[in-house]
């Protein structure tokens, strides 16, 4: 039996969880179909999910259809929880992108499809909710083709749209339009097929065409489209047929080299960590010792594998499977088991651009709050908890207001801590604006003003937007302290780690990005020639001082996250909307009148998006529609905002030395 790890993705409320329920029912795993609105589904199991009727965390369920063991991952659609989707993408063999037949292609649909295509994940499209009034079919295909991808092929036709008993009829070889559409689509990537078909239409059998369709779908070149209703079950059998026929099963040698990815971490009833893994190659067994992201090896104490509707305790988990591992106390989301899978990108979506301070209502719970948030951050690394040293305030990063409410409710329900949030502010970045260099020389002996036994010279230079940070060595091999670091690579790695950590807080306290840091000078002293020898801590502690010196000379500009908006308003509300937008620091770049409404396109600071969404209904009698999407970081005009530091400020040499020396 083959295995297929399948993700269900969509804009919020398109019907992913309902479809999951329908698939479990069709596979005979459940006898009764749960309803999101009653809080009775298999995958929305958290109290908060049931109360709110939305999915917050990805959940795995498994079933068997037509000899394929499917592990299905139901993901959240709300943009505040995009991080959950991101982590799942790296473990999928295929995906179903759900689109509501009434709402059509929505902002999140576009973002998800773009990402699925970039990662070359084989994807079927399921147009859901054809039972609802206003359901579209032909015009939706047009819109999918224009806004998502032209490489689509409808696999059948829907009828009874907007009624309680709609249906979906799959096309067959007898449907001429379907056949010619299929050949046209497949021939785009298959010259031989085109030639054969031109020569003799009947020379290519329908079976061969279906085989080619599966192959091209498997390479994410084309996307078959199904229609149906998760609620009534219409079209679901055809979709199941498509999933087993057209999506490629998991591959991987069970006795190959060990390779897997941790995509979810949760805590069990006794507080123990449980890691969800997808194995790509090799086999992990109970009592195996694994070294993941942490320093030490840890023993796997138990394994469960998702299989045919349940997850059962097993002795091992092999390539292709999804399961859970116990015993790994240090495990974090994203950790690789064995050989990491090489992906060029670490983040598929933009990291959170907002943050807020979390304050316990009872000041005595400050410590407990920090510990609980750190635990939540294990399950969601993008929460990124920071505690500022001086005021002892705890910051969390956010995608939006719903996520804030969910964090608040989770702290209350799971940890019994009642919290308030300060106003949401944006997370800026700093970009160097010039080249800066600094050097500190190896002193004759340690002294309170020159306590580090090392020479470090660093240069920082700005690079293009979105290029991130790069680090390189430009020093002679002989100047590297090989009595501390065994190889040049080890030294490079240690220096890079310290440089990246230091750059998390620039001159104004924001993360520094889009630059290259080069080590230009390096020296050390080593026994037996000179005593004492330079230690790793000399490099670790001196680097921040030198780097910030160089950064100060380079100078930085603070840049804020900017979203691109697409806003439709009724024409009589145009004036009021434009003035409101100006108050929100939005810049309208184009405006166009279409019928009785205006379409405005432009830029707005991320920090104002929520206010815009709140004000819009009142401004436009509830008729305004806005779509926002992160665009870029742009220089803040006027005074730069600052962010409190969480480290020993290396910008202040005296203070830094004092505090570091006291700690060492
Ligand atoms: N009429 C109709 N309603 C549907 C259908 N599928 C889902 N719904 C309803 O749409 C709402 C959202 O459904 P969900 O299954 O929670 O959607 P989701 O995509 O999982 O939502 P999130 O996980 O929160 O992004 C619920 O009220 C469902 O009952 C359908 O085929 N027809
Ligand atoms: Mg859901």
What is the Å distance from ligand 2's center to 14 Cα? Answer: 8
Give per-residue pLDDT as tens, 579-597. Answer: 999 999 999 999 998 888 8
Task: Please give the pLDDT value at position 344.
Answer: 44
What is the Å distance from ligand 1's center to 17 Cα? Answer: 7
Task: Please give the pLDDT value at position 295.
Answer: 65
What is the Å distance from ligand 1's center to 18 Cα? Answer: 6
Task: Please give the pLDDT value at position 293.
Answer: 64
> Over 60: is that where the pLDDT of 137 sits?
yes
Task: Please give the pLDDT value at position 130.
Answer: 98
Angle between helix 16-26 and helix 236-246 axes, rounded to 10 deg: 80
Highest averaged pLDDT of the listed ranges 67-71, 221-225, 442-446, 569-573: 221-225
Of the pLDDT bands very low, low, confident and very high (cuts 50, 70, 90), residue 239 is very high
Residue to substitute in 15, 79, 111 for testing ligand 1 pocket (most ligand atoms within 8 angstroms of CB): 15
Does residue 22 contact residue 35 with C-beta atoms inside 8 Å? no
Mean of pLDDT values over 396-406: 90
pTM value is 0.85
Task: Please give the pLDDT value at position 95.
Answer: 98
Tokens representing residue 537 in the block: 């801590």
Closest CA to 548 of 588, 608, 594, 508: 508
What is the Å distance from ligand 1's center to 95 Cα? Answer: 18
The CA distance from 536 to 538, in Å, is 5
What is the Å distance from ligand 2's center to 163 Cα? Answer: 23
Does residue 61 contact residue 72 with C-beta atoms inside 8 Å? yes
Task: Please give the pLDDT value at position 297.
Answer: 87
Ligand 1 pocket check for 130: Cβ under 6 Å = no
What is the Å distance from ligand 2's center to 149 Cα? Answer: 24
Mean of pLDDT values over 360-388: 88
- Residue 48's Cβ-count burial label (10 Å; 0-12, 13-18, 19+) is middle
The CA distance from 504 to 498, in Å, is 10
Q: Which residue has the tokens 């958290």?
A: 46
Considering every ligand atom, which ligand is closest to the CA of 10? 1
Share of the chain above pLDDT 70, in %: 98
DSSP string of 529-590, one letter each residue: TSSSPP-HHHHHHHHHHHHHHHHHHH-EEEEEEEEEEEEEEEGGGHHHHHHHHHHTT-EEEE
Tokens representing residue 380 in the block: 């969601």
Mean of pLDDT values over 184-212: 87
Ligand 1 pocket check for 17: Cβ under 6 Å = yes
Residue to substitute in 18, 126, 227 for testing ligand 1 pocket (most ligand atoms within 8 angstroms of CB): 18
Tokens representing residue 636 in the block: 């803040």
Ligand 1 pocket check for 21: Cβ under 6 Å = no
Does residue 419 contact residue 361 with C-beta atoms inside 8 Å? yes
The CA distance from 269 to 266, in Å, is 10
Considering every ligand atom, which ligand is closest to the CA of 234? 1
Residue 104 per-residue DSSP state: B
Ligand 1 pocket check for 23: Cβ under 6 Å = no
Ligand 1 pocket check for 15: Cβ under 6 Å = yes
């Amino acid at each position: 039996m083959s295995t297929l790890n399948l993700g269900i993705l969509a804009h919020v409320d398109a019907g992913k969880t309902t479809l999951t329920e329908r698939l479990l029912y069709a596979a005979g795993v459940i006898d009764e179909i749960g309803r999101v609105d009653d809080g009775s589904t298999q995958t929305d199991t958290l109290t908060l999910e049931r109360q709110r009727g939305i999915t917050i965390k990805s959940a795995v369920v498994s079933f068997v259809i037509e000899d394929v063991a499917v592990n299905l991952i139901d993901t959240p659609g709300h943009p505040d929880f995009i991080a959950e989707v991101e982590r799942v993408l790296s473990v999928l063999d295929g995906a179903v992108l759900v689109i509501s037949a009434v709402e059509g292609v929505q902002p999140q649909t576009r973002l998800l499809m773009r990402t699925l295509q970039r990662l070359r994940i084989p994807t079927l499209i399921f147009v859901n909710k054809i039972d609802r009034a206003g359901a579209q079919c032909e015009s939706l295909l047009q819109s999918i083709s224009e806004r998502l991808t032209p490489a689509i092929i409808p696999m059948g036709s829907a009828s009874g749209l907007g009624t309680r008993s709609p249906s979906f009829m799959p096309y067959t070889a007898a449907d001429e339009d379907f056949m010619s559409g299929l050949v046209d689509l497949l021939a785009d990537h298959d010259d031989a097929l085109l030639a054969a078909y031109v020569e003799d239409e009947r020379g290519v059998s329908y079976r061969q065409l279906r085989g080619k369709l599966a192959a091209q779908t498997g390479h994410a070149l084309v996307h078959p489209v199904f229609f149906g209703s998760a609620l009534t079950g219409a079209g679901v059998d055809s979709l199941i047929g498509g999933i087993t026929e057209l999506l490629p099963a998991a591959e991987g040698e069970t006795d190959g080299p060990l390779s897997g990815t941790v995509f979810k971490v949760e805590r069990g009833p006794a507080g123990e960590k449980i890691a969800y893994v997808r194995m790509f190659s090799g086999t992990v067994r109970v009592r195996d010792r694994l070294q993941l992201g942490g320093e030490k090896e840890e023993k796997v104490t138990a394994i469960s594998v998702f299989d045919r509707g349940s997850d059962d305790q097993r002795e091992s988990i092999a390539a292709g499977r999804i399961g859970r591992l116990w015993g790994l106390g240090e495990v974090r989301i994203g950790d690789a088991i064995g050989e990491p899978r090489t992906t060029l990108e670490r983040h598929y979506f933009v990291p959170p651009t907002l943050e807020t301070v979390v304050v316990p209502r009872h000041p005595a719970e400050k410590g407990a709050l920090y510990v609980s948030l750190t635990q939540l951050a294990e399950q969601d690394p993008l929460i990124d908890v920071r505690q500022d040293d001086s005021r002892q305030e705890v910051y969390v990063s956010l995608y939006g207001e719903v996520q804030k409410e969910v964090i608040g409710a989770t702290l209350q329900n799971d940890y019994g801590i009642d919290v308030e949030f300060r106003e949401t502010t944006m997370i800026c970045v700093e970009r160097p604006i010039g080249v800066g260099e600094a050097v500190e020389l190896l002193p004759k002996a340690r002294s309170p003003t020159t306590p580090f036994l090392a020479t470090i010279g660093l240069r920082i230079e700005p690079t293009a937007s979105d290029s991130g940070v790069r680090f390189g060595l430009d020093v002679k091999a002989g100047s590297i302290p090989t009595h501390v670091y065994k190889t040049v690579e080890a030294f490079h790695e240690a220096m890079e780690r310290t440089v990246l950590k230091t750059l998390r807080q620039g001159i104004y306290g924001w993360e520094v990005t889009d630059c290259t840091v080069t080590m230009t000078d390096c020296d050390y002293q080593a026994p037996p020639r000179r005593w004492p020898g330079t230690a790793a801590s000399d490099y670790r502690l001196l680097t921040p001082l030198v780097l910030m010196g160089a950064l100060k000379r380079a100078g930085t500009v603070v840049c804020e996250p900017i979203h691109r908006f697409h806003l439709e308003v009724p024409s009589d509300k145009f004036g009021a909307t434009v003035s409101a937008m100006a108050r929100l620091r939005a810049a309208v770049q184009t405006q166009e009148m279409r019928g009785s409404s205006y379409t405005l396109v432009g830029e707005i600071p991320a920090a104002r998006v929520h206010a815009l969404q709140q004000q819009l209904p009142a401004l436009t009698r509830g008729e305004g529609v806005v779509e926002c999407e992160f665009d870029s970081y742009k220089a803040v005009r006027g005074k730069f905002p600052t962010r409190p530091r969480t480290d020993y400020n290396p910008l202040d040499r005296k203070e830094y030395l004092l505090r570091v020396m006291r700690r060492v």
